[in-house]
Structure 1
């Protein structure tokens, strides 16, 4: 993905027209795509377009309810709408909450997708295409990025799904989008269980973080060091340690309570990060045992081992 993906002026419709048709009871599903410039908003929008969504780029938030109303009058021809909202329309951000509140009264199924990336990744992308950040003015690229983060902080906190694209290429981002939006039926709750290494930093898109460094590290057992938590001997070593099984049982019970609350609040996506020092042994073994517990609760679960292949 490139930084120039998010550049441009004016509202642009990516596909189709709504037309004036008799009203039906079919209220369109809505996804609002936002996030950092250069983080892949245009790639995400293109993915949804390829999946059959009606995509509108840079629509002022005040017009979102009107767009949904037009979709509802399309006799089912516009069943899913995606709207890209970004800093090009920053003067309209004050209207976004009001528009979302208006949609809540119409029982619209809506989600907010936020694309995130590290400062280093964003600077690299802007420099690679030799374009300025839309908010940098006479300053540096990092100044524009800082201003945009501050502007979008509240929206990021309200997002239903945050995807960190710092280490993703276009194909990997498309795969994540397909996994989240291509299904025929949306699950009540979808979880990503991610193992990671603290020495490589916390996952920025984690909703919940748990630390496994209280368990003895298999790294210091010579015969186990070359393997990972996917290896049966490593997993057995981890779960034979005092407190390991109890921790798994009690954390799974806590997640049962949290998942029930997320469902009541309408939250559909959660990323659960499980950490150890290097993200190779303890966190991998714990994530592999935790995921089936969630699946047994009816939560559609994907396991990702972020740092397992690092040295």
Structure 2
């Protein structure tokens, strides 16, 4: 049998374009299906509940599609938990082949997840004979390492379906990927830390406009409040020095291939100091060429 013209498997496709890969995971009930559907609407080839061991194979098949499958999104969740031991090996395999891959992790608070499962009258996949909260705790433990490796963490605790889709669109709809995207989020410490924050800034070292009667009804978006906050001793110096620190951090993120960062700016109620600072900080970051989105999580709360 003449085998002289037979090429080893894979060499025919040596020049094939390797698809871009996004791995979607996170807590059950946090919105994985919505995130996947959003990417599908943006033209991604989406595979739900693919065993992690098969991810490299899926990428190879995409590379053979002659450009017809340029972007692949894979949903990995606890339904395939018996395969999670293989995920680390699959990611290492992708890295060795220089595949561009990102991990999107959907997060949500226990309270929000319990409400969602109760509203649809379905058990949590891991609760077994226990309670919903038991299943949630087991899943958090299972996904802890994956969450730590995520390129983008989205907290959906206070998001509806449309708001989650808007966040996904903001991250993936562009034709060209920017080097780094930043979300600057104001929040109130009394409502809890944002779970998707990469960096946290505490503005409670400045006087609280809440105790100034004429400023109390307003927010940090009002000029009067912003002027009051940034006329306080140390306020402008803090903004200047923290901006310089963010420049160093951003350079490091770029070197490490991190594409997304969430900066949480907090004060007591998330209405005055944090809002004013988030706006100013976002403007500084945007001036450095970083695509920036501002979110005021708690500004409308009483």
TM-score, normalised relative to structure 1: 0.92
Aligned to 1:26: 17
Establish whether residue 281 from structure 1 lines up as the match of residue 269 from structure 2. no
d(CA) in 2 for partners of 1:155, 1:117: 15
Give the counterpart of 1:217 among 208, 216, 233. 208
Aligned to 2:98: 107
Give the counterpart of 1:298 among 280, 289, 295. 289
Q: Residues 9-158 of structure 1 correspond to what in structure 2 (within 5 A)?
A: 23=13, 24-158=15-149
DSSP 3-state at the match of 1:216: coil
d(CA) in 1 for partners of 2:243, 2:16: 40
Unaligned runs of 5+ in 1: 1-19
Aligned to 2:242: 251
Q: After superposition, what is the alpha-carbon deviation per residue over 1:91-119, rounded to whole angstroms, capped at 9, x for unaligned? A: 11111111111111222111000001111
Aligned to 2:170: 179
DSSP 3-state at the match of 1:74: coil
**What is the number of residues matched between the two proteins?**
291
DSSP 3-state at the match of 2:261: strand
- Structure 1 runs (4+) greater than 6 angstroms displaced: none
Q: CA deviation at 1:74?
A: 0.7
Give the counterpart of 1:272 among 263, 269, 291. 263
d(CA) in 2 for partners of 1:128, 1:288: 36
DSSP 3-state at the match of 1:96: helix
d(CA) in 1 for partners of 2:184, 2:201: 11
d(CA) in 1 for partners of 2:140, 2:193: 18
DSSP 3-state at the match of 1:302: strand
Q: CA deviation at 1:25?
A: 3.0
Establish whether residue 161 from structure 1 lines up as the match of residue 148 from structure 2. no
d(CA) in 2 for partners of 1:261, 1:93: 30
d(CA) in 2 for partners of 1:163, 1:261: 22
Aligned to 2:217: 226
DSSP 3-state at the match of 2:118: helix
What do you get for the CA RMSD once the two structures are aligned? 1.1
Q: CA deviation at 1:69?
A: 0.7
Structure with greater Cα Rg: 2
d(CA) in 1 for partners of 2:277, 2:199: 14
Aligned to 1:8: none
DSSP 3-state at the match of 1:191: strand
TM-score, normalised relative to structure 2: 0.95
DSSP 3-state at the match of 1:113: strand
Unaligned runs of 5+ in 2: 1-9
DSSP 3-state at the match of 1:298: coil
DSSP 3-state at the match of 2:81: helix
Aligned to 1:308: 299
d(CA) in 2 for partners of 1:53, 1:255: 33
